[in-house]
Amino acid sequence: MADALEREARALLTAAAVRARAAQMLELGLAGGLSHFTIDLDRMDVVAEAVLAVTRKAYPTLDVPFHARWRHFVLGGVDRWAELADATSWPDRAARARAEFDLAIISVLLDAGAGAAWRYRDDVTGADVGRSEGLAIASLDMFKSGLFSGDARAPFRADADVLAQLPLTSLASAFQVNEANPLLGLEGRADLLRRLGNHVANYPEIFARREAPRPGGLFDYIAARAVSGTIHASAILSAVLNELGPIWPSRLELAGVPLGDCWHHPAIKANDSTQGLVPLHKLSQWLSYSLIEPLQRAGLDVTDIDGLTGLAEYRNGGLFVDHEVLRLRDATDAERAHEVDSLLVVEWRALTVALLDRLAERIRAKLGRTPETLPLASILEGGTWAAGRAIAFARRPDGSPPLKVISDGTVF
């Protein structure tokens, strides 16, 4: 019985479960069965055109890269990480991949929403950079400086023992945080990195196959699972969820398995112990997208990239609310802040995932493309995230999302 329960729990740690439960939420919404939202699919064509407009502007040839952390390391047309990495003498391709896994994992974990007020002063350009881009450049500067390395001669690494003892003051200073420049969820981010360090140190069979324990050791674990040099994107997510899942703050567990970014909703049906549970795995999926390119650079072929889902975050979700595909049943809900585990936020995020699949089909049809030639990861980048931000700024001067979520720095 315990084994069966654990299998049911681990089945929630998959993109297939995210997609299936999100589709169920959309069907409920279309039937008028949700507490907080109604859905108007007639507005989807307007959304598709808005996404195409920003995509064509940013990528005129429609050769769109993946929505991954690497895009945020480009500032002023300069790819900061590529410059550093290309100028470094790596012993082999795997060494660079481990460094890129270290950087991507830490940078993504540090990237739960910054809030509207925070800015990072970039030393190179003198620009004040906010939100995801600012968090990215800040995290890259930390990595470059060796903040996470235990070896002063090798800054481009994150060692488990250094992460486990990372002082909050070091992170606050690196993020340039002060009373006039507050960063939401700073304590949560610092705690997450410390949890990461402790976890990585405790599982050398996963994270220390080639050298001292580091998050980048996950590269060797995933590479060892390749068949004839090929790895499915879903296998990347499986490794991220199963091997990094325990770092997340205690939320839902089933059969002793931490479920991560997974939430209750009573309307979701299943024939087993997972009834009423809605997995979303936003940060883990974004991290998985961000690990594809290091694996490719190391010589592995990554397939079935559309096996991953769209990301249940506020830019993609705001896109559908601001374009009125999703409408609040109670308009006053837009005026108050909501906890991440509230039914409203769970509905919003799950609907976002399902609507992104519908939107991707519509965009491909307009362009005559296939999932292989225009994967969802590229539509997100082109794309939905930028269009969500654009309409947010058109509707609200500070570009804030249409719904307010109380974030602890580990979900959004």
Asked if 174 contacts 147 with a C-beta cutoff of 8 angstroms, the reply is: yes
Q: What percent of the chain has pLDDT over 90?
A: 84
Which range has the top average pLDDT, 39-48, 118-127, 244-253?
39-48
From 142, 113, 118, 115, select the one nearest 129 (Cα to Cα): 118
Task: Return the HEC string of the chain.
Answer: CHHHHHHHHHHCCCHHHHHHHHHHHHHHHHCCCCCCEEECHHHHHHHHHHHHHHHHHHCCCCCCCCCCHHHHHEECCEEHHHHHHHCCCCCCHHHHHHHHHHHHHHHHHCCCCCCCCCEEECCCCCCEEEHHHHHHHHHHHHHHHCCCCCCCCCCCCCCHHHHHCCCHHHHHHHCCCECCECCCCHHHHHHHHHHHHHHHHHCHHHHCCCCCCCHHHHHHHHHCCCECCEEEHHHHHHHHHHHHHHHCCCCCEECCEECCCEEECCCCCCCCCCCCEEECCHHHHHHHHHHHHHHHHCCCEEECHHHCCCCCCHHHHHHHHHCCCEEECCHHHHCCEEECCCHHHHHHHHHHHHHHHHHHHHHHHHHCCCCCCCCHHHHHHHHHHHHHHHHHHHHCCCCCCCCEEECCCCCC
Asked if residue 412 is part of any domain, the answer here is no
The pLDDT of residue 412 is: 47
Euclidean distance between CA atoms 288 and 305, whole angstroms: 10
The pLDDT of residue 43 is: 98
> What's the mean pLDDT when you consider all of the chain?
94
Q: What percent of the chain has pLDDT over 70?
A: 98
Q: Is the pLDDT of residue 409 over 70?
A: no
Average pLDDT over residues 225-233: 96
**pLDDT tens sequence across 145-182:** 999 999 989 999 999 999 999 999 999 999 999 999 98
pLDDT-based confidence at residue 411 (cuts at 50, 70, 90): low
Residue 212: count of CB within 10 angstroms of its CB: 16
Q: Is the pLDDT of residue 281 over 90?
A: yes
Greater pLDDT, 117 or 82: 82
Q: Is the pLDDT of residue 259 over 70?
A: yes
Average pLDDT over residues 376-395: 95
Asked if residue 26 is part of any domain, the answer here is yes
Asked if residue 341 is part of any domain, the answer here is yes
**pLDDT tens sequence across 63-94:** 999 999 999 999 888 999 999 999 999 999 99
Asked if residue 49 is part of any domain, the answer here is yes
Domain limits for position 84 = 2-406
pLDDT-based confidence at residue 247 (cuts at 50, 70, 90): confident
Q: Is the pLDDT of residue 365 over 70?
A: yes
The pLDDT of residue 334 is: 94
**pLDDT tens sequence across 316-355:** 999 999 999 999 999 999 999 999 999 999 999 999 999 9
Asked if residue 215 is part of any domain, the answer here is yes
Encoded tokens for 240: 């991220």
Average pLDDT over residues 41-46: 98
For the chain, the domain total comes to 1
The pLDDT of residue 369 is: 95
Q: Is the pLDDT of residue 304 over 50?
A: yes
Asked if residue 411 is part of any domain, the answer here is no
